Each structure stands twice: as C-alpha cells, then as structure tokens.
Amino acid sequence: MLEPLRYSPFLPEVMRDPFPFYRRLRDEAPAYHLAEYDAWALSRFEDIWRATEDDGTYVTARGTTAAQALSKVESPVPSINQMDGPDHTRLRKAIRGVFSRASAHALAPAIRREVRARLAAGRERGGLDAVQELADPVAASVACRLLSLPAEAGPLLVAWVHRYANNAPGDEGRSADALAAAMEMNAYLAEVVAGRRVGRGEPGVADVFLAHELGGRKLADLEIASHMQTLVIGGTDTTPKVISSALLRLHRDPAQRADLAAHPEAIPGAFVEALRLDMPTQFMARTVARETTLHGQRLRPGQGVLFLYASANRDEREYADPDRYDARRKARRHLGFGHAAHVCIGAHVAALEGRVVLEEILAAAPDYRIDESRIAWRSADQLRGMTSLPIEMPIELPIELPIGVGGSR
C-alpha cells in the first residue's frame, strides 16, 4: 500500500529522484496543494502548456524560483524572466538579436574549434570530464562571447553559477553561500556595465540594456547586472547538463549511439530528446494573479505555483513510453525550452552547443566509456543534473578534418 502522497521540491528524497513523485502527482493530484507554503504544483503537460500561455492568471514578477514563490528566502530581482506584460515584451525584443538563430550560426566554427581542442587534450590523457573539462567551459566561453565579457571571466562565471544553483535539503531553495555567490556575480557584472557607460570593454548586450528605458527611466548598473546574471545562469548551467545526459543515455544504449555516429544528421533530435527526458530545470515558479480553478482546486491570488516542467515532459498523456530515451523520437511539442512569452531566449544557442559537442564526441570516440560510479550529481531543488561525467576516449580524434558549420566534414 502506498504511503500518502507528500511532495515538496525541498524534500531530500525528491532531490535524489523526483520522478516517482512526479508520476504520483500526475495521477493522484495534478493540482497539488503544498500546505506548508500555501502554494501549488502543476504536473501534467497540458495544464502547464496552457498555463504558460495565460500570463494574466500566472505572473512572474514576484519570482520564478521556489525560494522566491514558496519559501520566500530569496527576494525577486530585476530580471528578464521576472517581468510581465509589455515591459517584458519590449525588453525581450531589444535583446533577442543577440540570441537569434543567425547569431548562433555565426558562433558555430569557434565552438567547433574549441570542442576539438578540448577533446584532443583529453585524448592525450585517455579521457576527460565531459562536464568540467568540456561542456561547462565551452558554455561559459559562448556566454562570454554573447554578452561581450572577457574570456577570462568564464571560469569565474561557472564557479558562481554552480554555487548559486546548489542547495541541500533544509536550505528551502537557497543557501547562504548561494545568495552570496549571486551578490558576487552581480557586483562583477555591475563593474562591466559601469565600464560600458564610459566606453570601456567591448560593445554588446550591456549597451542594449543601457539604452533601454523601463517606466520612462534608464536602468541602473545593478539592475542591468541582475538581468545579465539571468542570461549568464541560463547560458552556462543548463546546456552542459543536457549534453551530459545525452552522453550517459547513449552510453547505456550502444545501438542508438552507433546509429547517431553513423547518421549525425539525427543528432539535433537526440539532443532535444535528452532535454525532454532529463530537463535540468525541474520547474519554474509563478504567482496567481487572478482566481482560477483547476482539477477542482481553487487557486487564489497571491499563491505561488510551480510549473513542474520535468514532470510534464514525462507525461504519459502526451508521450508514448515517456520514460524511454528515443534519439529518433519526433515529439510534437515539449517544454524543454519552456513555452509562450517566456520561452528560453537562448534556445538556438543551446541547441547549437549541444549539436556540436555531440557531433564531435561521436566522431572522435564513438565507443567512449563511462564508469558510472564516478558520476557526481548536484544537490538542488530546481536545477538538477551532473556536475562531473568522466569519460574514457579509446579512439583517436580526426583532428585533420576541416571545420565546417553544421557538422560538414
């Protein structure tokens, strides 16, 4: 007999493995009341898909983390993903060119060169950590390019983001060190913004924020830094988690791995499938702005709501055999990049990074090996994934092959 359902994103057992809880939530309580916080958790795909489109009922300005919307140990901050209505639309429109498909495409040769160089260095040692020595630094390098930050800032950003995203049960969403890391990162980015005000550094997205007006006023340096911090976190943390997930899933399924190595044109879909199945962002939070009823439950203004994206992406009502990794799956829709007004602005860049890294690893070492006992996982309520994935690379790299955009060789 099952024990009564009890869910909170902060529970140790949920942090270890949330997916059995998500299944029970979908089946037993698709609109689940977290009584301790007087908040709600939505777990089914269709409910969340429609809720993300209803920005009149569910608003973001009061916070998008559980630490903001549930436990309230973290205050909402100026951030593009914590804005609503026309202000959000205007700011997103102002910066979207930096993250467009064309901008991502232009980065492809540089990303491929860096990936090959890191794989070549790993080959000489017989392997490398696919997170710490490959995906993390590549993602940080791309973020620095997009945000016009100095290249040497990459390791600093990764360290700050890892501290910010890590939390243990009892922290209720943010530890003291996590909040300190956010402040340190914000101070660094504010210095960058201040430099751009007087013409120092490289032109970039900071200049777009400096020119932008919100409510008829210009943004202060610390406000701009806070917006940029959101872009840094999104750009450096989640994509490496999806890449490592794909590598692990393919290690466990040699037939699918061989198929992708022989047919690299299918790799973009394989990356999306890893994103669907092992989405790092377990949820995003909202606040109820107007009363609504869902599955017989009355959601009242002021209550927090968790959109459990990682649960929705495994909903049996949306996907056949949803817990199986199928690199050739053609999903009609998914929530891996969110949906509607707050869809991930960096989706094109993330997809490019994932494609290039997987292409290069499968070309260089299609029979790479993983000792799963050496994998390290993050302790976190919201941003889940591997922080270390050592792989052995027994096959030499084709380092003399030409570099081409889109995997051409």
Per-residue pLDDT averaged across 192-212, rounded?
94
> In total, how many domains does the chain have?
1
**Is 7 part of a structural domain of the chain?**
no
Its pTM stands at 0.94
Residue 179 within a domain: yes
**Residue 51 domain flag:** yes
- Using 50, 70 and 90 to split pLDDT, how confident is the model at 407? very low
Q: What is the pLDDT of residue 406?
A: 46
Tell me if 361 is assigned to some domain: yes
| Residue 5 resides in a domain | no
295: in domain = yes
Q: Which of 22-26, 74-78, 188-192 has the lowest mean pLDDT?
A: 74-78
Residue 158 near residue 136, CB atoms below 8 Å: yes
In a domain, 1, yes or no: no
CA-to-CA distance for 105 and 110, rounded, in angstroms?
A: 10
Residue-wise pLDDT for 370-397, tens only, equals: 999 999 999 999 999 999 999 999 755 4
Q: Kindly state whether residue 147 falls inside one of the protein's structural domains.
A: yes
Q: For residue 370, what are the domain limits?
A: 12-407
**pLDDT tens-digit readout, 219-272:** 999 999 999 999 999 999 999 999 999 999 999 999 999 999 999 999 999 999
Mean pLDDT of 139-146: 96
Q: What's 256's domain CATH number?
A: 1.10.630.10
**Predicted local distance difference test score (pLDDT) of residue 2:** 81
Read off the pLDDT band of 317 (50, 70, 90): very high
Percent of the chain with pLDDT over 90: 93
